[in-house]
Structure 1
């Protein structure tokens, strides 16, 4: 059993829950995630880890109430012990394979929206702790729904904001915002990593594909927001499990249009849980590496 240390609500139906889990905290690498079973009778939920406190032995989980299990975590203060917490799960970000000097010399951009800010902030803080300053583009419908802006400003070199209603930052889409950045700056990025809503990640993937540089997309928030514990991807004709072989993939190869068409998947439609979100293979284009791997 795992004790809830604190629970704060940055927005309606969303909570940042700090849980005492020293083993997981010590083993967690950027890009990985956990599953939580809040009570013995509830389902397990895949969740992104937003922060780690190694000294206190805690991890911070960003949870949105989308079904009974997640609502228990977000809205029921009487639940202060989780029945089960499993992790770390999934493959770490490819950045974890690089040594500190390589990372310090790289130029990285993160694009995040919605619950995707959790995975983005986890990786950005990890990079900041080893001396790597990154850029981030945060997108949200309104200023009020822009989560954890101060934490990003503390850890990033440049923070770009875009809102659908123009209440703060740029008034427009991610693609439009990226298009306003200086050409030399955009071409200088070694890697763009994106987390968040499918439509937003599709814009980033299309932008990366059109400009010919590497980009990765993470899908932990999709698992969490749709109430699914996992789904399979068809990558170059090979079926891949997101939880085991992801959760990050080459954004340029994801068939986001097909994924968006399946976005109506929910726990209320059991037959859809086995559906496959497919990836498109792009001949001659591989993921590549933003920086060389450590020997």
Structure 2
């Protein structure tokens, strides 16, 4: 079975959006869940959060950032091309209920994973306050769509080209000072989720984070996605990907994310036509 790309969009210079025909996944996927795809039978398995679905059309919406060989190859696929494999939905869905007032914090491409949670929480009656952050205006994605499902929206950029200049944690402190938040979520780079957790902890607010370690099979068999939560080993693919941030061993998580950095850089260099030692 092949999975046809029926629409492809370039969101900016490094982030892309694809709509893929996958009727069974489109019928079942819930906020917070993900899929694992392969471009071809020799390809790396790439885990991506399901951004949205169109069950009536059998479509799954995915957004990714080019960070290495496999995502660079994925970005070259065009409308009409197909993926060899698409498995899902995987992971535990977000626990959606009416908490009251919720705070949703997204950074970089993590905004794509946050969006379905925003949408689902609003649908059950929560007051939704959203904070989105990125390096600059170009990289701050889905702002208009998040605004549609948010009662309040704060935009932060490192350089001040959109919204306020500063970090998402600056906006979090502002929100905590003026409003009682019942529950929060943060999705983005690991340093951003770590410091968002610290900000929420200081305010006495429980905050969930979505962890994206290296994954292979996505069913808990390989152990590649193991993370330490509350001093216990968990598998992000089956126990998560969402965990309470206060329990995450952030140093361990950060180190595991760097584990294959050298190999990833070598593969990317070769893919681009260079040599591992830097010689063309």
Q: Same fold (TM over 0.5)?
A: yes
Q: Which has the higher contact order (CA 8 A, sep 6+)?
A: 1
What per-residue deviation string (whole Å, max 9, x for no partner) do you get for residues 7-52 of structure 1?
A: 1010113211101111111111111110001111112111111111
> Secondary structure of 1:11's partner?
coil
Q: How many Å separate the matches in 1 of 2:143 and 2:230?
A: 37
Q: Give matches, 1:33-48, under 5 Å.
A: 33-48=34-49
Q: How many Å separate the matches in 1 of 2:19 and 2:162?
A: 29
Q: Give matches, 1:248-287, under 5 Å.
A: 248-266=242-260, 268-269=262-263
Report if the CA contact (8 A) 2:226-2:236 is conserved. yes
In the alignment, structure 1 residue 120 sits paired with structure 2 residue 121: no
The Cα shift of 1:142 comes to 1.0
The 1:58/1:133 distance shift into structure 2, 3 A limit, reads farther
Report if the CA contact (8 A) 1:230-1:242 is conserved. no
2:18 corresponds to: 17
Q: What is the RMSD of the two structures over their aligned residues, measured on CA atoms?
A: 2.2
2:87 corresponds to: 86
Runs of 5+ consecutive residues of structure 1 not aligned to the other structure: 271-295
Q: How many Å separate the matches in 2 of 1:84 and 1:267?
A: 25
What per-residue deviation string (whole Å, max 9, x for no partner) do you get for residues 148-177 of structure 1?
A: 111111121111011111222222222222
Q: How many Å separate the matches in 2 of 1:135 and 1:171?
A: 19
Report if the CA contact (8 A) 1:161-1:169 is conserved. yes
2:204 corresponds to: 212
> Secondary structure of 1:181's partner?
helix
Per the normalisation by structure 1, the TM-score is 0.80
The size of the alignment, in residue pairs, is 256
Deviates more, 1:62-71 or 1:40-49: 62-71
The Cα shift of 1:215 comes to 0.5
The 1:230/1:152 distance shift into structure 2, 3 A limit, reads farther
The Cα shift of 1:65 comes to 2.1
Per the normalisation by structure 2, the TM-score is 0.84
2:6 corresponds to: 5
1:62 corresponds to: 63
Q: How many Å separate the matches in 1 of 2:246 and 2:86?
A: 32
Deviates more, 1:171-180 or 1:105-114: 171-180
2:227 corresponds to: 233
2:175 corresponds to: 181
Q: How many Å separate the matches in 1 of 2:200 and 2:112?
A: 22
1:282 corresponds to: none
Match of 1:162 among 156, 168, 173: 156
